Structure 1
Amino acid sequence: MKNDQNSAAIAKLKVVPLPHPFRLAAIILVLSLLALAVRSAAMNPKLQWPIAGSYLFNPLIMNGLLVTLIVTALVMVIAVVLGTIAALMILSPSRLLSTPAKVFVWFFRGTPALVQLILWYNLALIVPRFELWLPGLGTIFSISTNDVMTPLVAAVVGLSLHESGYMAEIIRNGLQSVNQGQREAALCLGMKPSLLMRRIIIPQAMRVIIPPSGNETINLLKTTSLVSVVAVGDLLYSAQSIYARTFETIPLLLVVTFWYLVVVAIMSIGQFYLERYFSRDNATRQGKGMLKATFGNAFSVRRRVTQ
């Protein structure tokens, strides 16, 4: 009887959450500062919002945005390929392979991207011509370096080598995150190293590789603004070419900022779904499969025993 009365009394109790006055004050302060910042930006006539809106879909701006996206995609693909090769070389037990790969990563990750862009753009000062010379045949191929190393090629080569240093470390870390016991078990089963890498290592390493790779891609998109230094017609260079004539610097920079934010937002959404796909938990599905297999085997044994 007492237990029933106690249960009824407990059920009537009202749970009151702990007060958080400092949290509420912080929220009010942040919202107030945000409202002031938005109001200040919206009411500032020097930002010239109508002019910025008129340039938002300008053909030159759109063409620059397309060049930025193309350069980002090309550089990221090349960087992933070079980074994967460098990561595998670093993980090789042979020092003849690991040492050059470590030097490659150290050099291209350690030098600024802008310095590399300018160096590749001025490669003709070091190597005036690309020539192929064979003994007995002489020069069979010769071309001017300036004809090959155009601004776009210099931008792609410089950024690809710079980014591959970071991707090599990301991929190496992802490959090393897979438990060594799985490698040994797969090799004991007679699995070849190439099949082991495709079936066992890479699918599990992607969970570790995808998040930093997505961040590097977003960072690379913003780093492509450096190619305007070597006269590649990207988004920033297109805006610069317009405000050099019209002197409407601030509105054009606002347009550039807007498009970078839009593309980064889209890429962040794609990164979110990629991370969720590769980080999906298979424990529940595997657990159901194990229970089904266990009870299915038990049922079969019981049938055999009864028969």
Structure 2
Amino acid sequence: MALTSDPPLDVAKPPAVPDGAALTVVPVRHPWRWVAVVVTAVLLLQFAHGLVTNPGWEWDIFARFFSTETILHAVWVTLQLTFYGTALGFALGIVLAFMRLSASPFLKAVAFGYIWAFRSIPLIVQLLFWFNLAYLYEELSFGIPFGPSFYSFDTMGLVGAMSAAVLGLALHQAAYAAEIVRGGVLAVDPGQLEAAAALGIPRLRQLRRIVLPQAMRSILPNAANEIISLFKGTSIVSVMAIGELFYQVQVVYGRNGRVVPLLMVATAWYVLLTTALSVLQHYVERHYAKGAVR
């Protein structure tokens, strides 16, 4: 008996794909993006036009006071406060960070207590405490703890306004610097330390050549933000009548009544110096980014 099979079904052939030259490429259109660009550009142009044409800005007064000797000296005082506050603050912050990373519960508790206290108390309160140190402690002495003293001196002339400002800024900055450094160290893979210890590399060299170069990649962005914040935050020492930038601007516009142009003088100096710090941050970050994948 012969077997018969059904005739094959007609399978529809796929349509022929035309050559690439025959395809019409339509770019993706983003109409709302262009609307946002136009609106933003118009607002920026309006703002710039107002800066130039509004007589209330008094750019002639701004130009007259921008580089006067009083303002330049005030900028120098601001830079000094920033430098000393940063250097002392991060030096103490590194010590506090490694105290928190130590195996000693007592050192951990002391470092945690310091960070908790100085982050909780407003900076202006800390500055006023240090400025009134002579009221709190009329005399300081050196000797055996809880025993007789060998040398004592009056504190009335010990801490002046500038010293109190530097001390307050540095101690306040140390609390934040400690957490920044601790976070950067914890970001380093602990396996690298284990490998270095297996190779017999001393602990100090491990820290200097392995941990810190990698930790700096995490530390630098946050540290730069803290330095810039400290630079602008030095204006708070004006409550202690220290001749930094904002205080001198207040003194000048208190005499001549030109508030807006004098505030723009301070603003321009803050912007210029912050930009310089940002450029420095870029090159330091690029230096420590050597060998990184990102």
Matching residue of 1:81: 91
1:253 aligns with 2:253: no
1:213 aligns with 2:208: no
Report the alpha carbon displacement of residue 41 of structure 1 after superposing the two structures with TM: 2.7
Larger CA deviation: 104-113 vs 167-176: 104-113
Q: Of the candidates 11, 34, 40, which is equivalent to residue 50 of structure 2?
A: 40
Preserved CA contact (<8 Å) 1:109 1:163? no
After superposition, what is the alpha-carbon deviation per residue over 1:3-23, rounded to whole angstroms, capped at 9, x for unaligned?
A: xx979x315646442111111
Matching residue of 1:270: 280
Give structure 1 stretches of 5+ with no counterpart: 285-307
Distance in 2 separating the partners of 1:118 and 1:139: 28
Change (3 A) 1:191 1:281: closer
Change (3 A) 1:244 1:141: farther
Q: Greater helix share, 1 or 2? A: 1
- What TM-score do you get using the length of structure 2 for normalisation? 0.89
Matching residue of 1:142: 152
Report the alpha carbon displacement of residue 172 of structure 1 after superposing the two structures with TM: 0.1
**Identity, % of aligned pairs?**
37
Report the alpha carbon displacement of residue 139 of structure 1 after superposing the two structures with TM: 5.1
1:108 aligns with 2:118: yes
1:119 aligns with 2:129: yes
Distance in 2 separating the partners of 1:213 and 1:282: 19
Runs of 4+ in 1 over 4 A off after TM superposition: 11-14, 137-140
Report the alpha carbon displacement of residue 27 of structure 1 after superposing the two structures with TM: 0.8
Report the AA paired with residue 147 of structure 1: G
Give structure 2 stretches of 5+ with no counterpart: 1-15
Distance in 2 separating the partners of 1:143 and 1:248: 46
Matching residue of 1:179: 189
- State the superposition RMSD in angstroms: 2.1
Larger Rg: 2
Aligned length: 278
After superposition, what is the alpha-carbon deviation per residue over 1:100-138, rounded to whole angstroms, capped at 9, x for unaligned?
A: 000011111221111111111111111112222459x96
Change (3 A) 1:283 1:217: closer
